[in-house]
């Protein structure tokens, strides 16, 4: 199980900028990198269009997601997780997030109005420590 997420300040700033630019709608993207034991190492946060463009949910635009996954694989990397924003609420998984997390492996980084937190699903939502 992933217990730590290592991510650069640059990528955290990019995600925060996505939150601000898309407010009041949710923004989303993928976290590209590698997994080493219980640590997910993010080498790049890559924005992906929110196909839903709503205030309360997100769906990675399929073609952009496929292109991101394909490019990561070509470079010997993987999608270690996803990020999305909660521009007017806290960085806690919503009911929709909790249901979706069960089917999407990897880290879920949520940027909320109160900061950023990371989670994984392992028989329930588990917090992941963010390391800069």
Give the model's pLDDT for residue 11.
Answer: 98
Give the number of C-alpha atoms closer than 13 A to the C-alpha of residue 4, restricted to the C-beta side. Answer: 9
CA–CA dist 41, 35 (Å, integer): 6
Residue 104: the pLDDT is 86
> Strand 107-112 vs strand 28-36: parallel, antiparallel, or unpaired?
unpaired
Q: Are 15 and 118 in contact (CB under 8 A)?
A: no
The values of phi and psi at residue 13, to 5°, are: -65, -40
Per-residue confidence in pLDDT tens, the chain, 132 aa = 899 999 999 999 999 999 999 999 999 999 999 999 999 999 999 999 999 988 989 999 999 999 999 999 999 999 999 999 999 999 999 999 999 999 888 999 999 999 999 999 999 999 999 999
User: Do the beta carbons of residue 104 and residue 125 sit within 8 Å?
Assistant: no
Tell me the C-alpha to C-alpha distance, in Å, between residue 104 and each of 10, 24, 46, 82, 100: 25, 25, 17, 9, 6
Spell out the domain ranges in the chain. 4-131
Please tell me the number of Cα atoms within 13 Å of 44 on its side-chain side: 12
Cα 17 versus chain centre, distance: 14
Q: Which CATH superfamily is domain 4-131 in?
A: Cytidine Deaminase, domain 2 (3.40.140.10)
pLDDT attached to residue 105: 84
User: Nearest CA to 11 among 35, 42, 48, 50?
Assistant: 42
């Amino acid at each position: 199980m992933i217990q730590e997420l290592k991510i650069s300040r640059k990528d955290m700033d990019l995600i925060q900028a996505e939150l601000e630019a898309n407010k009041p709608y949710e923004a989303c993207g993928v976290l590209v990198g590698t997994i080493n034991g219980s640590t997910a190492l993010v080498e790049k946060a890559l924005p992906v269009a929110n196909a839903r463009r709503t205030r309360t949910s997100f769906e990675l635009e399929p073609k952009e997601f496929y292109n991101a996954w394909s490019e990561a694989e070509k470079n010997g990397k993987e999608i270690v997780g996803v990020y999305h924003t909660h521009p007017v609420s806290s960085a806690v998984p919503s009911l929709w997030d909790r249901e979706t997390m069960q089917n999407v492996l990897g880290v879920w980084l949520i940027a909320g109005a109160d900061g950023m937190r990371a989670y994984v699903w392992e028989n329930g939502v588990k917090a992941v420590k963010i390391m800069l």
